[in-house]
Structure formats: C-alpha cells, structure tokens
Structure 1
Amino acid sequence: MTLFISPEGPGLAELARQALSSTQRGYDLLAPKFDGSPFRTPDEVLDATAQALRPLGPFGPGLDLCCGTGAGVERVLRRVCTGPLTGADFSEGMLAPARRAVPEARWVRADARALPFRDAFDLAVSFGAFGHFLPHERPTLFAQVHAALRPGGLFAFPVAAPPRVGSLPYWVLWGFDTAMRVRNAVWRPRFVMYYRQFALPEVRRDLTAAGFEITTLALDSLGRLPDGSPRCRLVLARRRQ
C-alpha cells in the first residue's frame, strides 16, 4: 500500500471519519471515492494476476471475494472465466459502484465468514482484503471459500513480499498497525485493518488445514527484490478433488 492523497480520492477529514466508524460503515462512507484512494489494488497487480491465471484456465463460474467496487471482477475474472461472474462484499456502499462497472455480474452482499455459496465456483480470487480478518478468523474464512468452490476449484490471491526489517516501508506498516491497535483499544466500534498479520507461512498452514493444496507463482511483471526474490507471489490454493 502506498499512502497518498489523490485529488480523486477522499480527503483527510473523510479518511478520519471512516477510521472512526466500524469496518463496514467505514467502507460504505469510502465507497464513492474508493477507486481514487490508496486502498484500491493497483491495476498492475490485477493485470499480473490475470496473466498468471490465464494458462491455468479457462475457468467456469468465478467469485471475487470481498470485491469492493468490482476491479477484480472487471480486470481479472472477465479475462479468465467463461461462466457467470459473482462479487461478494459486506459493504452495500461498495457494491453500488461495482454494479455500475460490471452490470452483467451478480453482486451479493455477504460476510466472507458466512458465504451463501456451496460447490458453486471454479475460481475464487481476492485482493487487498485479508487485513480485515484477525488471525483466529482465517480458518473460518478459508473453510467458507473451500465450501464455495467446486472440487478441484482454485482460490488465488497475491501476497507481497514483506518489507525488509528496518526499511521505511517496514516502519510505515508497523506504525499503521500500532495506530490501529491503539484506536481499537480505546474506541468503539472497531475498525479492523492490519497489514502485518498475513504472513505466508501461517497462511499456508491455515489453507492446508482447510483442505487446500498450495503452490505459488512469482508475478515477475511486478519485479524482483535486490536478493532476486519476487516482489509479489500469487498463492494458488486448490480444493482437493
């Protein structure tokens, strides 16, 4: 995440109002200017994901989990799925612009921890949403995705390499998470958004326990770090047949 204030995005006062709301209400408020905010997944990440998924398909029905304003449906699922497209999000405010952007898709208001789907999709994707789930909620979240997929279905999402300890991005994320912890300790309702609680080893463990087989792909178009490792990987979690 790059922190900046765009002319098209929310101002500081609007961000403060969002941050003092619940997670759901905050995104309802942010929705009209979300695509101009620093919280939207960059197009280059979406395009790299679509490029990596294309050789693994084509897929039939596709789901964008925590879809926000619909960028994952528009730039990823549209390119790799031949079946019906569905976006699910708990914020009705976010779903409104998604419906306008991709009117042919099905848009469902739903909590990712209690999805209304069973054996419905060949592919599920998600972008930038996992910071809204505390570590103890991941087993439930992954179990819901597993149930929503057909046997052999694929759950795919990008994971950025963690910043080098002591670097500026490291301290920015550390500071953001610390501020959120303090805010949630002294203010209600809580706004759950943490950037340092989604470590790949723990995520692999929880996905495996939910019944997935895990591989990863380097998203080489997003570059590599000085040590040669990829800046971003695509996690591919396949529901066992």
Structure 2
Amino acid sequence: MAVQALSSVERGYDLLAPKFDYTPFRTPDQVLEASAEALRAYGPFGEGLDVCCGTGAGMRVLGALCEGRVTGVDFSAGMLAQARQAHPEAGWVRADVRALPFDGAFDLAVTFGALGHLLPGERPAVFAGVYRALRPGGVFAFPVGAPPPVASRLYWALLGFDLVMRVRNAVWRPPFVMYYRTCPLQALRRDLAAAGFRVTTVPLDALGTREDGGPRGRLVLARKPGSQD
C-alpha cells in the first residue's frame, strides 16, 4: 500500500489490482444492490457501460439491468486483467475516461467509487464523454453518500485522509489522486447539467436513514435528452 501511494494513479492501481477486492476501497455489495434496485424502475436497458470499472464490481448492476452487451472501461491494465478474469462474458476497453472512445453506443452508464480519483477540473471532460457515449434517452447513474455530520468520527477521518493526500501530492511526483471530499452533490449536478444532462436524484432506501431522517445515500440519475424531448 505504501508503494502504491507513492506511485502514479495508473501504476498504483496496477499494483493494487490483485488485492483490490479485499480492501475497503471496493464498493460495498450493499451499495451495488441498492443502486440496482433503484435503477430497476427505469429499465430494462439495452447496452451498458461501467465507467472507471476497476475490477468489475459494477457488472453486477449492469448484468441485472441490461439486456444487451455490457462493457467496462478503465485505464489500469492491472484492474482490467482482474475484471476480465472475473467477468469473461463482458467487453473490456482500456482508455482514459477523460477521452472516452464511444459515440452513441450505450443506454445505461454507471460508475462506482471513481469520482474521487478525478480532480474537479477533470469532471467536465468525463461527463461530456459519458454524454457522448450514450444514446438519446440514455441514463448515467452513480451513488453518492450523504455528507457525514461534522461531529462524527467519519467526517474527521475523511478530512484527515484528504489533507494527507494533498500534502503527499504537494511534495511528491507523480501525483496520486484519491480524495473523498471533492464531489459534493451540488457541484456534481452543476457539471452534469453543463454537459447537457437532465439531473435528478432518488434516495437509496435500502441504505437506511441518518439520525436527521435524511437518506444515507442517493442515486444520481443524469439523463441524456431523447429525440422526443
């Protein structure tokens, strides 16, 4: 893990790939299942794309919702090797998600746990690429967690992690981009809308509620306008 943290993002995830599914960084099954359940009301879908697919955990969601072929895209060869081994029936593409090589090919795109590996200034290019990759009427969906209360241990743990990463990137090259506090919902909605999406959210009821009664997580639904809109 120390070697990974001192590597570039791509090299770091190549190193982590064989053990990634056994780390806390993998999206929990509960979140995947809650996302699939929330998306079921908007399907079924045809072709599906997992953006920043990692080892392929999102294939569980796409496989349950898509009637056509499903594809994963990532820039880590190590991650793709693990994904290909776990899901040989899917298609796998190595590419930079800031320049996705697709045009009107998919009906549903998802991403899980990847936005923290993008700097805020990189999101517009990614969202524009996903928009281009979808057919008219297609949906881009991903879960976001509710921000933890300031008084909680989780709030300070995430803040501390981000501060450590910022110090690391200030003194060490190449940078390793992995932050937990760079994706507030309001900023995500703004960037998605700027890319042309119509954005709504739905609560992930299966994840429960916070003490204040709000949902612990929401599913962002960004729809590309259809030909009849």
Task: Identify the TM-score tier after normalising by the shorter chain.
Answer: over 0.9
In the alignment, the residues of structure 1 paired with residue 169 and residue 82 of structure 2 have an alpha-carbon distance, to the nearest angstrom, of 29
Partner of 2:83: 98
In the alignment, the residues of structure 2 paired with residue 119 and residue 226 of structure 1 have an alpha-carbon distance, to the nearest angstrom, of 42
SS in 2 for 1:46: helix
For the pair 1:154 / 2:139, whether they are aligned, the reply is: yes
Q: CA deviation digits over 1:20-77, x for unaligned, max 9?
A: 000010000000000001100000100111111112101000000000001101x100
In the alignment, the residues of structure 2 paired with residue 69 and residue 221 of structure 1 have an alpha-carbon distance, to the nearest angstrom, of 24
Partner of 2:2: 16
Partner of 1:206: 191
Q: Which runs of 5 or more residues in structure 1 are unaligned?
A: 1-14
Q: Which runs of 5 or more residues in structure 2 are unaligned?
A: none
Partner of 1:38: 24
Structure 1 residue runs of 4+, over 2 Å off? none
In the alignment, the residues of structure 2 paired with residue 126 and residue 97 of structure 1 have an alpha-carbon distance, to the nearest angstrom, of 17
Cα displacement (A) at 1:167: 1.5
How many pairs align?
226
In the alignment, the residues of structure 2 paired with residue 64 and residue 139 of structure 1 have an alpha-carbon distance, to the nearest angstrom, of 18
Q: What amino acid does structure 2 have at the position aligned with 1:184?
A: N
Identical amino acids, percent of aligned pairs: 69
Q: 1:194 aligns with which of 179, 190, 194?
A: 179
Partner of 2:71: 86
Cα displacement (A) at 1:100: 1.1
Q: How does 1:54-203 map to 2 (within 5 A)?
A: 54-73=40-59, 75-203=60-188
* RMSD of Structure 2 on Structure 1 (CA): 0.6
SS in 1 for 2:82: helix
Q: What amino acid does structure 2 have at the position aligned with 1:64?
A: D
In the alignment, the residues of structure 1 paired with residue 182 and residue 106 of structure 2 have an alpha-carbon distance, to the nearest angstrom, of 27
In the alignment, the residues of structure 2 paired with residue 201 and residue 189 of structure 1 have an alpha-carbon distance, to the nearest angstrom, of 30
Greater shift, 50-59 or 29-38, is seen at 50-59
In the alignment, the residues of structure 1 paired with residue 225 and residue 42 of structure 2 have an alpha-carbon distance, to the nearest angstrom, of 16
SS in 1 for 2:58: helix
SS in 1 for 2:150: coil
What TM-score, normalized by structure 1, do the two folds share? 0.93
What TM-score, normalized by structure 2, do the two folds share? 0.98
SS in 2 for 1:151: strand
